């Protein structure tokens, strides 16, 4: 399948940690929808009984490490590694035993020493609008217990977009966000990021493939670049999912050093900055990490990114009723973005139970938008997806954590 080339997926769809998932959710106090648990094929690693896999994931090794293992440990030809990649990324193999053009003994050796997936799908929800959400539990790691994260498939016309989580929880503490309520537990590993993409691919019919990736799920991707970048390298490579970097968007609250680090990698990913407020006094209230970064620092880093990449900047702005949806905030935002090639995604907030924030009125949204547009700022207001499946980031995890939901069949 194909999607429109050169279009930043963050431009037009509901994909944000602060958007689809917040907009679409019914709130943490809402009951888990009575959708059937859907099982999808998995090859979860054998467990010791405590949920700890006994084997490492093949996806956790770099291409060099894989090739070394294939040639030096298993004594096979180099091209066998490419065969394995093709099976996993193009033919959706979830088990080494599926790889029928590999010698049987080699398959058995692979299966004895590695697994492909280490997580288990705890819940699979399907929205009536086609949005699908997986809640995946990864096994304990070091001092960290099992960690649950969410990933989402968003269907929009020809696009098939995955929203990927980068951490278990989030340490940024945005005041309106369910993902950050309990802080960050740990960063996800390369294989755990790739597993989300492969499992969502497995949800698609065989004649469809993922077209876009947005790193806008749970966690701050720029706080986990050592794992996010290698995973995106595989996702954007011909031997992986083959998704063009211009169809991959990384979202951040504005970690300036990491924005600069993004410029050092060869690939030009799209950048979306979750701004949410135009001034430090307002942003400090909404995004606590702003006290260390500052709006000015973010805008300078964004300008450097724009200068180096030529990519249009996207700013995410969650509208919180009565807080950052005022005329004054709109004028300040227009001032901040004056003369910039920037897009503002306005995201009306949907309440999260237990948090004291409200959806702005339609009049307030329209008024805010008009001020920006009258000042020449390009604005989009996101449509909502997955309303019926607790799609707001972090909310399904919290809901399921509070309930006694068993694992889906097949896991
Ligand atoms: S940065 Fe973290 S806390 Fe802030 S909205 Fe995103 S996931 Fe939530």
CATH of the domain at 355: 3.20.20.70
Collapsing DSSP to helix, strand or coil, 117 comes out as: strand
Average pLDDT on 110-127 reads: 96
Do residues 212 and 60 touch, judged by C-beta distance below 8 A? no
70 or 27, higher pLDDT: 70
Residue 129 lies in a domain: yes
CA 282 to chain centre: 26
Separation between Cα atoms, residue 117 and residue 352, nearest integer Å:
32
Same domain, 367 and 344: yes
Same domain, 89 and 222: no
Q: Which of 179, 250, 350, 357 to mutate to test ligand 1, by most ligand atoms within 8 A of the CB atom?
A: 179
List, in sequence order, every residue forming a beta bridge with 343; answer none if it has no partner. 314, 378
21 CB-near residues (< 8 Å, 6+ apart)? 150, 152, 163, 178, 179, 217, 386, 391, 392, 393, 394, 395
Same domain, 293 and 359: yes
Separation between Cα atoms, residue 274 and residue 214, nearest integer Å:
13
217 or 50, higher pLDDT: 217
Residue 3 lies in a domain: no
Residue 128 lies in a domain: yes
Ligand 1-lining residues (CB < 6 angstroms): 17-18, 170, 172-174, 177, 179-180, 218-220, 253, 393
Model pLDDT, residue 385 = 67
Final residue belonging to a domain, choices 113, 136, 154: 113
pTM value is 0.85
Same domain, 289 and 306: yes
Final residue belonging to a domain, choices 113, 138, 157: 113
Separation between Cα atoms, residue 143 and residue 73, nearest integer Å:
31
Supply the residues annotated as catalytic. Answer: 150, 393
Model pLDDT, residue 182 = 85
Do residues 249 and 8 touch, judged by C-beta distance below 8 A? yes
pLDDT tens figures, 289-302: 999 999 999 999 99
Same domain, 81 and 167: no
Model pLDDT, residue 351 = 85
Q: Is the pLDDT of residue 78 over 60?
A: yes
Backbone angles phi, psi at 298, to 5 degrees: -65, -45
Same domain, 162 and 95: no
Q: Is the pLDDT of residue 253 over 60?
A: yes
Query: Measured between alpha carbons, how far is residue 109 from residues 53, 112, 113, 117, 198 in Å?
Result: 17, 5, 6, 17, 23
Do residues 368 and 329 touch, judged by C-beta distance below 8 A? yes
Same domain, 233 and 352: yes
Residue 315 lies in a domain: yes
**pLDDT band at residue 142, thresholds of 50, 70 and 90?**
very high
The pair of structure tokens assigned to 22 is: 């917040």
Collapsing DSSP to helix, strand or coil, 188 comes out as: coil
Final residue belonging to a domain, choices 49, 80, 113: 113
Instruction: Output the residue whose Cα is nearest ligand 1's atom 6.
Output: 17
Q: Is the pLDDT of residue 53 over 90?
A: no
The pair of structure tokens assigned to 393 is: 């980031």
Q: Is the pLDDT of residue 329 over 50?
A: yes
Task: Say if residue 359 is exposed, middle or buried (CB neighbours under 10 Å; 0-12, 13-18, 19+).
Answer: middle
Residue 393 C-beta-side C-alpha neighbours within 13 Å: 32
Task: Name the residue with tokens 């227009």.
Answer: 334
Do residues 251 and 161 touch, judged by C-beta distance below 8 A? no
- Residue 140 CA to ligand 1 centre (angstroms): 23
Same domain, 394 and 339: yes
Separation between Cα atoms, residue 164 and residue 228, nearest integer Å:
10
Output the 3-class SS for 206-254. Answer: CCCCCCEEEECCCCCHHHHHHHHHHHHHHHHCCCCCCCCHHHEEEEECC
Residue 391 lies in a domain: yes
96 or 18, higher pLDDT: 96
Same domain, 210 and 175: yes
Separation between Cα atoms, residue 137 and residue 11, nearest integer Å:
30
- Residue 2 CA to ligand 1 centre (angstroms): 30
Atom of ligand 1 nearest to the CA of 173: 3
Do residues 169 and 176 touch, judged by C-beta distance below 8 A? no
pLDDT tens figures, 342-394: 999 999 998 888 899 999 999 999 999 999 999 999 999 976 666 666 655 65
Q: Is the pLDDT of residue 248 over 70?
A: yes
Instruction: Output the residue whose Cα is nearest ligand 1's atom 4.
Output: 174
Residue 48 lies in a domain: no
Same domain, 354 and 393: yes
350 CB-near residues (< 8 Å, 6+ apart)? 22, 23, 24, 25, 27, 359, 384, 392
Do residues 25 and 176 touch, judged by C-beta distance below 8 A? no
As for how many domains the chain has, the answer is 2
Model pLDDT, residue 410 = 28
Same domain, 204 and 226: yes
Instruction: Output the residue whose Cα is nearest ligand 1's atom 8.
Output: 177
CATH of the domain at 105: 1.10.150.530
Same domain, 176 and 223: yes
C-alpha distance across the termini of the chain, in Å: 29
Separation between Cα atoms, residue 366 and residue 361, nearest integer Å:
9
Residue 52 lies in a domain: no
Residue 1 lies in a domain: no
Collapsing DSSP to helix, strand or coil, 73 comes out as: helix
Collapsing DSSP to helix, strand or coil, 33 comes out as: coil
**Residue 87 lies in domain:** 58-113
């Amino acid at each position: 399948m194909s999607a429109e080339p050169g279009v930043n997926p963050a431009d037009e769809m509901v994909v944000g940690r602060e958007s689809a998932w917040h907009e679409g959710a019914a709130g943490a106090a809402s009951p888990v929808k009575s959708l059937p648990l859907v099982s999808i094929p998995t090859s979860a690693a054998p467990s010791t009984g405590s949920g700890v896999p006994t084997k490492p994931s093949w996806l956790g090794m770099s291409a060099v490490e894989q090739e070394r293992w294939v040639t030096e440990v298993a004594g096979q030809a180099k091209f066998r590694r490419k065969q394995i990649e093709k099976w996993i990324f193009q033919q959706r193999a979830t088990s080494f035993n599926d790889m029928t053009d590999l010698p049987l003994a080699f398959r058995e050796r692979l299966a004895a020493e590695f697994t492909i997936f280490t997580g288990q799908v705890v819940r699979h929800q399907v929205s009536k609008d086609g949005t699908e959400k997986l809640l995946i539990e990864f096994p304990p790691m070091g001092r960290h217990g099992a960690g649950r994260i969410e990933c989402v498939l968003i269907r929009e016309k020809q696009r098939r977009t995955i929203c990927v989580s980068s951490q278990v929880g989030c340490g940024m503490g945005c005041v309106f966000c369910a993902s950050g309520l309990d802080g960050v537990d740990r960063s996800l590993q390369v294989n755990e990021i790739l597993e989300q993409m492969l499992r969502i691919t497995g949800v698609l019919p065989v004649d469809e493939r993922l077209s876009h990736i947005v790193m806008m799920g749970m966690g701050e991707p720029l706080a986990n670049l050592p794992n996010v970048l290698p995973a995106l390298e595989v996702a954007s490579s011909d031997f992986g999912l083959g998704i063009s970097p211009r169809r991959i968007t990384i979202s951040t609250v504005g970690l300036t050093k990491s924005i600069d680090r993004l410029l050092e990698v060869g690939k030009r990913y799209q950048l979306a900055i979750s701004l949410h407020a135009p001034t430090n006094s307002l942003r400090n209230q909404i995004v606590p990490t702003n006290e260390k970064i500052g709006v000015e620092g973010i805008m300078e880093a964004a300008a450097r990114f724009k200068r180096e990449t030529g990519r249009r900047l996207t700013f995410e702005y969650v509208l919180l009723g009565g807080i950052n949806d005022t005329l004054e905030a709109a004028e300040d935002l227009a001032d901040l973005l004056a003369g910039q090639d920037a897009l503002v995604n306005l995201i009306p907030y949907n309440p999260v139970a237990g948090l004291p924030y409200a959806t702005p009125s339609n009049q307030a949204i329209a008024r805010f938008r008009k001020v920006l547009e009258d000042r020449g700022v390009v604005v989009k207001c996101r449509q909502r997806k997955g309303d019926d499946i607790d799609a707001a980031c972090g909310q399904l995890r919290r809901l399921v954590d509070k309930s006694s939901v068993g694992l889906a069949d097949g896991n």
